[in-house]
Amino acid sequence: MKPFVILVVLAAYLGIILFNRKINPLIFVFVGIIILFFRNAITLETAIRSINLNVLGIFLGTMTLSALFIYSRVPEFLAVRFVDKARNVGSALLYICLLSGAISSFTENVATVIIIAPIAFEVAKKLDTDPTPFLIGIAISSNLQGSATMIGDSPSMILAMSHGMNFMDFFWMKGRPGIAFAVEIGAVASFIVLYILFRKLRQPTKKIDSVSIKTWVPSFLIICMIISLALASFVKDRPYYTVSYICIFFGIVGIIWFELFERQRFSFIKYIDWRSFFFLIGIFILIGALSHAGVITDIADYISNLTKGDVLFSFIFIIGISVLFSAFIDNIPFITGMIPVVKIVAQNLVVNQELLLFGLLIGATLGGNLTPIGASANIVAMGMLRERGYKVDFKDFLKIGLPFTITAVISASIFLWVVWR
């Protein structure tokens, strides 16, 4: 059954890769799931357990706040400010990426994309340019900075919970600089790459009329949500779905506020990207099938046996394999399965567990930047583009994601080796 599961999942992914522009990716994903169900390769219970409800809750809650954010006209206001400060389209794009990275350090990557995307679309609209590089830049910048803090990304939360880390350990741990410093070094290096890639976008900005803001309440709710996520990280033995509960809570508060005080015709439903929502569910189930069949465990066991004895080789191999696999499968089940293996490898090598664990986190979070299906944030960003009639294939994504990822991974890994070896 294991080879069959691998074959079905590979076929689904190849279909997405090869026919993304012509055929809805949902078809490949759910045809694969149906085949697995009919062959009893996965049960309904296993499928449900595979779905990351935290990510879906974050998606729905922040999508609702994003809709209110658009209604408030703050994205348009910020777009005008960005255009005024930018000398050309390339500069505007870099400013958007910086903003995305900053927000992603304190809220989940999917939430960051949903929050920043309206600003990016407005900037692109004002500058009369293609929003595709803006959305790709937002996604990969959020994936990078998401691993800088405990609450920035699901893999960071998983590592923190399994290794007994609190919010501050990501900055300073055991008398040494934490992973946040490695991420920021990677961010500086990758920002230079983005500058080189986008400097050819020299179209001048246009003078744009100022925009009046309807209300600051949605912005205030988003800030409160981010602060709540940060404070929740200090609570011991908190429920697993705390992050999801917080996002949904503020989404509901936003709806109540709107219905009580605004009372205008405004559809929340049309601003929720349901295609990306169901695509995420499908991807979770496919990866859950691999995990249920023991494929991910087999990979982890193989790595553990292969890398015994050589610390540097172990470090490089764990990062490399994490980047490779995270480019094509969701990093949440991968990092969950790899953490116990990495801890055993570290014990066998008599080396700091943090060296290999932080390397795993860097590889698993940044590897998703290689492909449009490697991270939930990428899937959501591409879904937003698709909803607006823009098609993005793997080649388009690789042009930006590949140099960005290689530069960030190498620079961050060097820092980790020097500090934690």
Q: For 333-385, what is each residue's pLDDT tens digit?
A: 677 767 878 888 888 778 888 999 999 999 988 888 888 877 878 888 888 88
pLDDT of residue 263: 67
pLDDT interval class at 414 (50, 70, 90):
very high
In this predicted structure, the answer to whether residue 16 has a pLDDT above a threshold of 90 is no
In this predicted structure, the answer to whether residue 417 has a pLDDT above a threshold of 90 is yes
Mean pLDDT confidence for 75-82:
74
- Per-residue burial over 374-388, b = 16 or more CB atoms within 10 Å of its CB, e = otherwise: bbbbbbbbbbbbbee
Mean pLDDT confidence for 108-131:
80
pLDDT of residue 300: 67
pTM beyond 0.85: no
Of residues 46 and 417, more confidence is placed in 417
> Could you report the per-residue pLDDT of 50-67, keeping only the tens digit for each?
887 877 887 788 778 877
**Amino acid (1-letter code) at residue 349:** L
- DSSP states along 213-227: -S-SHHHHHHHHHHH
Least-confidence region, from 85-99, 120-134, 199-213, 240-254: 199-213
pLDDT interval class at 207 (50, 70, 90):
low
Mean pLDDT confidence for 388-393:
80
- Tokens read off for 372: 């449009």
pLDDT of residue 157: 74
In the chain, where the domains are located: 2-420
> Could you report the per-residue pLDDT of 299-329, keeping only the tens digit for each?
767 776 777 678 888 899 999 988 988 887 7
> Could you report the per-residue pLDDT of 224-255, keeping only the tens digit for each?
987 887 788 777 777 777 878 888 999 899 98
pLDDT of residue 265: 65
**Amino acid (1-letter code) at residue 136:** I
Backbone torsions φ then ψ of 172, nearest 5 degrees: -150, 120
In this predicted structure, the answer to whether residue 285 has a pLDDT above a threshold of 70 is yes
pLDDT of residue 76: 72
pLDDT of residue 238: 74
pLDDT of residue 396: 83
pLDDT above 90 as % of the chain: 14
Q: Are 134 and 123 in contact (CB under 8 A)?
A: yes
pLDDT of residue 206: 65
pLDDT interval class at 116 (50, 70, 90):
confident
Mean pLDDT confidence for 166-173:
83
- Spell out the residues 6+ positions from residue 27 whose beta carbon is closer than 8 angstroms to its own: 15
Nearest one of 130, 108, 112, 109 to 121, comparing CA atoms: 130
- DSSP states along 35-92: HHHHTTSS-HHHHHHHS-HHHHHHHHHHHHHHHHHHHHTHHHHHHHHHHHH-SBHHHH
Distance CA 20, CA 5 (A): 22
Distance CA 186, CA 190 (A): 6
Backbone torsions φ then ψ of 207, nearest 5 degrees: -70, 125
Of residues 183 and 241, more confidence is placed in 183
Mean pLDDT confidence for 150-175:
79
Residue whose pair of structure tokens reads 């508060």 in the numeric block: 253
In this predicted structure, the answer to whether residue 418 has a pLDDT above a threshold of 90 is yes
Is the backbone of residue 153 left (phi > 0), alpha (psi -120 to 50) or beta? Answer: beta
At 176, which helix (H) or strand (E)? strand 176-177
In this predicted structure, the answer to whether residue 188 has a pLDDT above a threshold of 80 is yes
Residue 178: HSE in the Cβ half-sphere, 13 Å Cα cutoff: 18
**Average pLDDT of the chain to the nearest whole number:** 82
Cα–Cα distances (Å) from 27 to 15, 33, 38, 56, in that order, read 9, 10, 16, 20
pLDDT of residue 361: 92
pLDDT of residue 208: 62
